[in-house]
Structure 1
Amino acid sequence: MLKCLVGWLWQLAWHCTWCSSTKRWREILLNSLKAITLLWLIWCLGLVGCASQSQNPAPVRSITKDYSQQYQTKITASSYQVKSGDTLFSIAWASGQDYKNLIEINDIKPPYTIFPGQTLKLRGKSNNSSVSRKKTDRSNTSTHQLKNIDSRHKNDVDSTSSQGYRQVKAGQERSSTAQTKPRPYGRVKQWLWPTKGTVSGQFSASSLGSKGIDIKGKFGQAITASAEGKVVYAGSGLRGYGELIIIKHSDEFLSAYAHNSVIRVTEGQWVKAGQLIANMGSTGTDSVKLHFEIRYKGKPVDPTKYLPK
């Protein structure tokens, strides 16, 4: 239709060129004709572009979010060199195993101290040999010591789960006493939802999936402990988790609370179920939410199978 209109206008313009009385109208007609011709060419080019796109469709992307790009804390190597700020819990969390396994395969003796520069085995069995260490001046090196536990369990390696971490500053004398009164761990009788909001991300057992759930809420709203336990990690050293809290509830269970705006507890502190531990934020991510994980013997499990319906 547009092509026919262009042809008719060209014929009319040609006729008008022979009529001197229509000089002004001829100019108007020619300008209009040029504009319509340009539109016609653009329309033709658009058809060609659509045809080429139909031959090369856009790539199809997975509808499942790739969480592996965010929580890049997985350690897959067979060994790991301790860095400043690391703890046995954070290393075990990143390598996806129970920290008691690290103690066993590396023959770490009480009081379970690790040092920056020390090399830990992440795979294998105990060889009853001391773990390799770089020569360091302990008076000038920050260390991370596992706190002593109830005296009933001092010689029991399996009961080291009731210990926490304390960072010792340079030149500071290490204390064998815990920051809070040690308590024996029991079974987790009931789990509580750590905050209010909408579950915006589900757990996935896939290697690219989320190892917990995301709960969308408002900035600054309360984050509470899902069960009673000891805070064994509080900081931002694990990439992708932002300001993170890890709580030890029993010999088998840990819970994690990520992306907090403010952390309200300290490492070694005992907390009750429902106690305020942080405020919701967006550290380490692109939206305000709580990323909540539960791990059983170091392995991620679906939190919704433990939380109240």
Structure 2
Amino acid sequence: MLKKFLMVCLIFSLPTSTLARYCTYKIKKGESLYSIARASGISFKKLLQINKGRIKNPNRIRVNQTILIPCKALENLGNLCTYKVEKGDSLTKIAIKTGVPLREILAINNINIKHVLKVGEILMLPCDKVLDWEIIKKVELKDTEGFLSRSFKIRGIKFLSPTGDTRKVAVVGNRIDIPLSKGEKIVSAAKGKVIYAEHSINSMGTLVLVKHSKNMYTVYAGNDIKWKIREGQYFQRGWIMGYALSDTVLRFEILKGTVPIKPEQIIREVK
């Protein structure tokens, strides 16, 4: 695991009038401006030019002092890596699947929640998270089958199946795929608050994120689903959230913070 560091992306204007993106970097014990420049792949002269006004004496820097470095150069220092936006991605989806808090993604990349992502767009994220996600993507996920009970407990919270009954489901990685028939209702798994509701995310259809007590979250996603909820809405366990517009599949996941709860903890008779 890489050491935690402070990094906030900013937009600054270079003397050449071209716009470049910079991040703040905290100087670590044993580092010098020369060693940082060499490791990051930029010239010592350019590093001084970028930090003109911040560094009075290049030979007198201190641990935890912050300097500016091109965000791309932080890849070479092992702090930030590039993440290429994929089809169906949203800022919230990227936060969920990589485990990087949404507010951190926004800060690092100097964007706000209303920023519209484009396929192929490059975001900067902590390297350990990007690498973990790349490994997960390369793992071949095989469907297994089992039964999701009508109700179950996790971390002291009593959850209800999103369909309100016991039924056969498919397990794909950390996700539970629940078959739905046209007109079938989707109910809230536990008392909570809708903190995110994106009703169109390309091939993924829709995505709803609900926060519960004890830092628990439930994620609902799927195509051809009509939601009857809105962001900021509170509801009780078992309340109707929406219904299927056709025979479809609800993708369901439970998280503790940003860590997925393994389906094996709640699925029985997995074959």
TM-score of the superposed pair, with normalisation by structure 1: 0.41
More strand by percentage: 2
Of structures 1 and 2, the larger Rg is shown by 1
More helix by percentage: 1
